[in-house]
A = this chain, B = another copy of it.
Amino acid sequence: MKGESPQLKVENTPVCRNAEIDSFSPLNLVSRMSQPEEKFDRLETGIPGLDSMLDGGFSEGRVVLVLGEPGSGKTILCSQYLYHGAVRKNEKTIFIGMNEQKSRFVQEMSGLGMDFVNLEKSGTFAYIDATEIRRIPEEAKVGRIPVGGRELSLVNLMDMIQEAIEKYSPKRIVVDSISDLVFRYPKLEERRPIILDLVESLQSTKATCLMTSELLSTGEGRMIQPEEYLAEGVVIMRTLPKGIRSIQILKMRGSKVDTHARPYVINDQGLQVYVTEEIY
């Protein structure tokens, strides 16, 4: 491990499982795993292509941010992740929905071939309706003590998470999305600790958690959002000007991942990632 200048040694850089590398070029200088990694267990997403990028799936116990543009399929990705765990692995899963009520969620996912009604009956899925949280007024009272509505929102969400954990002991959790909570704190110095609290609250569940968030701007030169630093992993989903959808893993603590931007489509079976295609 001394300071020798390494040559690009193709033969020492094994490819991802299921991925083909046609030619080796500087563009392929993405980090890949040399050896199967045994330290962290992986939770497959079941999303074709994405597990390859993730070197098998999300690392167990991590809190991962799914950051995307409008319509990029953040909710679908998260739902597939839960559905796969529940159906294929018989894992307990929870969806904490801040954006839409259960009926809309169920209906929409049904259209993508995911039957969450039956999963719920079987006990492997629960939908926590947290849409009320974003309605909590700016000023509220806990007993006789006035509390800012936004602090209350956060406390409520964390309580929901806590209750859900105690009740279900889930292995997979989704929070969709944190944006309403986060945007209540316009100042960066206030926003960071809120996100941090949320991330640590999720970490303490020992489940493998996805939380979604809204991208603030399009284009390549953009402000980095604080949740990208505070989460342990970041998946970014965008629509390029021509209309191609692009998914990229910006960060994944404890994993050796494919950091290339890859095209994906949303069809009637949900997301499908083309891991051997380049985007630019």
Asked whether any CB of chain B lies closer than 8 Å to the CB of A52, the reply is yes
State the CA gap A181–B274 with chains docked (Å). Answer: 41
The reply to whether A2 and B44 form a contact with Cβ atoms under 8 Å apart is yes
Asked whether any CB of chain B lies closer than 8 Å to the CB of A19, the reply is yes
Contacting residues, chain B, for A252 (C-beta < 8 A): 71
Q: Which B-chain residue is minimally distant from A75 (CB atoms)?
A: B253
> Provided the pairs A6-B274, A46-B3, A259-B239 are in contact, do residues A110 and B71 lie with their beta carbons within 8 angstroms?
no
The reply to whether A27 and B244 form a contact with Cβ atoms under 8 Å apart is yes
Asked whether any CB of chain B lies closer than 8 Å to the CB of A267, the reply is yes
State the CA gap A107–B39 with chains docked (Å). Answer: 8
Chain A, range 175-196, C-beta contacts under 8 Å to B: 179-180, 183-189, 192-193, 196
Q: Which single member of B2, B179, B224 contacts A229 (CB below 8 Å)?
A: B179
Contacting residues, chain B, for A259 (C-beta < 8 A): 71, 239, 243-245
The reply to whether B108 and A26 form a contact with Cβ atoms under 8 Å apart is no
Which residues of A are at the interface with B, using a C-beta cutoff of 8 A? 1-8, 13, 18-20, 26-27, 29-35, 37, 39-40, 44-52, 56-57, 69-72, 80, 84, 88, 107-108, 110-111, 134-135, 179-180, 183-189, 192-193, 196, 214-224, 226, 228-229, 231, 233-234, 239, 241-245, 248-254, 256, 258-261, 263-270, 272-280
The reply to whether A269 and B1 form a contact with Cβ atoms under 8 Å apart is yes
Contacting residues, chain B, for A46 (C-beta < 8 A): 1-3
Q: How far is the CB of A120 from chain B (nearest CB, A)?
A: 18
Contacting residues, chain B, for A276 (C-beta < 8 A): 5, 7
> Provided the pairs A3-B56, A71-B250 are in contact, do residues A8 and B274 lie with their beta carbons within 8 angstroms?
yes
The reply to whether A52 and B107 form a contact with Cβ atoms under 8 Å apart is no
Contacting residues, chain B, for A8 (C-beta < 8 A): 274, 277
The reply to whether B245 and A4 form a contact with Cβ atoms under 8 Å apart is no
Q: How far is the CB of A9 from chain B (nearest CB, A)?
A: 10
Q: Which single member of B26, B184, B258, B279 contacts A189 (CB below 8 Å)?
A: B184
State the CA gap A88–B1 with chains docked (Å). Answer: 10
> Provided the pairs A18-B3, A33-B268 are in contact, do residues A243 and B261 lie with their beta carbons within 8 angstroms?
yes
What are 26 A-to-B residue pairs whose CB atoms are below 8 Å? A1-B48, A2-B44, A2-B51, A3-B45, A3-B51, A4-B18, A5-B276, A13-B265, A26-B244, A27-B244, A29-B245, A29-B263, A31-B266, A70-B250, A71-B250, A71-B251, A71-B259, A108-B253, A134-B196, A135-B193, A186-B187, A218-B224, A239-B259, A241-B280, A242-B278, A243-B248
The reply to whether B183 and A192 form a contact with Cβ atoms under 8 Å apart is yes
State the CA gap A49–B256 with chains docked (Å). Answer: 19
